[in-house]
Amino acid sequence: MRQAGRSLPEYRAARTGTGMLEACLTPELASELTLQPVRRHDVDAAIFFSDIVVPLRLAGVDVDIEPGVGPVLGRAVRTADDVAALRATGPLTDALLAPITQAVERTVAALGSTPLIGFAGAPFTLAAYLVEGRPSRDHLAARTLMHADPSTWQALTAWAADLTGAFLRAQVLAGASAAQLFDSWAGSLSLADYVAHVAPASTRALAHVTGLGVRTVHFGTGTSELLVAMRDIGADVIGVDYRLPLDEANRRLGGRTPLQGNIDPALLAAPWPVLEAHVRDVVARGAHAPGHVVNLGHGVPPETDPDVLTRVVALVHSIDSEV
């Protein structure tokens, strides 16, 4: 998962004195933080170390990540004039994207035959941060804007789609083998609102990597009721969080979509027999789908014992060899 190394002591040592966004935009450090979980856990792929709001920082938006809080903007984006000011910043150029390109190229060279998954936040989650100005539990301001001023909302999400699409495209062109769109806050939406006000922008974002020969993954939290719509934006693989069993997710998707997920992060701290039974159950349920990428049904909790993660990876590999 994204930021998979944050439970590692070597991660904390490397990040000492360095802010999150600074780490993401320092090629050598971003590469090292991407590689650490691969070295430690022997996973089958790496995921690029980044953050959802990195493209906003690259575009010149006043945003920072406050420890214990999350992304906080200098001012919220609430009006048509606010959105026009964002759009006036222009596209992400090769020069602006250079730290990302350099980090990916460096990582791909170090990984050898191990693939790298590119990462970007979906337009709705970017827009939600912009409108709210900081993390929110219900994203009420964002959901209000999409109905109260739909033209401004459409302009905002189209801008966010092109921003994050360019960010993802740069990673693929630099050597990433797959591309993941991560919609942290889509679970706050009804299906009707997602289809009408969010899906077009997500389709637009993924269009930036169409024709580049990579598979795309779409993941959201709390999105059990949105899986089909999330697939239909053009994603090849659907990530499922820990709330929905994979056999049920496969049924909802018509048995034709590969799945990613969905070990419950909370069980990483449970006694090993409990966790082992859960991992085996996840793998068994994932076998109903035409393909299954085993990972967590959300991010790695920072307090997780790294040895447990290594043991989980070994368990999954042993189950795969049994099959």
Tokens for 248? 């049920």
CA 159 to chain CA centroid, Å, is: 19
Q: Which residues are catalytic?
A: 2, 6, 15, 51, 129
Give the whole-angstrom CA distance, residue 164 versus residue 180. 11
Radius of gyration of the chain (CA): 19
Quick check: 210 and 234 in contact, CB under 8 A? Answer: yes
Q: Which amino acid is at 78?
A: R
Q: Note if the bond before 250 is cis, omega within 30 degrees.
A: no
Give the whole-angstrom CA distance, residue 130 versus residue 132. 6
Question: Which residues on adjacent β-strands are paired with residue 116?
Answer: 46
Give every strand in the sheet of 178-183, ordered side by side. Answer: 46-47, 116-121, 178-183, 215-220, 237-239, 259-263, 292-296
Query: Which segments of the chain does DSSP mark as H helices, in order?
Result: 9-15, 20-24, 27-41, 54-58, 80-87, 94-111, 123-132, 140-148, 150-173, 191-197, 199-206, 227-231, 246-252, 272-286, 306-322
CA angle 152, 154, 156 (to 5 degrees): 70
Quick check: 25 and 61 in contact, CB under 8 A? Answer: no
End-to-end CA distance of the chain: 24
Residues with Cβ < 8 Å from 159, sequence gap 6 or more? Answer: 83, 86, 87
At residue 156, the 3 state secondary structure works out as helix
